[in-house]
Amino acid sequence: MDGVPCLACPMKITVVNNEAGHRYEAWMGEVLAAYSQYTLDDDGIIAFTHTQVADAFEGKGLATTLIRAALDDVRAGGARKVRPLCPFVERFIARHEDYQDLLYVGSD
């Protein structure tokens, strides 16, 4: 997920899955600019719980870039469904039909 474009950002963003920290991270050079925390369960569900953008990077589309890359990574893995507990992730998926197939549809 190296060099993800962000239209309003001055440089390329690198998005990584920090599996040990259970979060996707957006880096601009050596600076952690944003992250989206998640939990995993045994049923193959990834629940995005919180997305945070550093103050210096707010309003530049960084969260959108981060979540798009994270969901693309989930899709590439092929086995997981998404539970969007984070309001930003929930709105992103609602606005982008091409990601709605990733949604977990369950009774809990």
SS3 labels along 60-72: CCHHHHHHHHHHH
For the chain, strand residue ranges (E) read: 14-18, 23-28, 31-40, 45-53, 81-84
Task: Determine the residue type at 36.
Answer: S
* pLDDT tens-digit readout, 7-18: 455 568 999 999
Question: How much is the average pLDDT of 82-105?
Answer: 96
Q: Is the separation of the CB atoms in 53 and 23 below 8 Å?
A: no
Percent of the chain with pLDDT over 70: 88
Sign of CA dihedral 53, 54, 55, 58: negative
Q: What is the pTM of this model?
A: 0.87
Span 30-43, pLDDT tens digits: 999 999 999 999 88
Q: What does residue 78 show for φ and ψ, rounded to 5 degrees?
A: 80, -20
44-56 tens-digit pLDDT: 899 999 999 999 9
pLDDT in tens, 54-85: 999 999 999 999 999 999 999 999 888 999 99
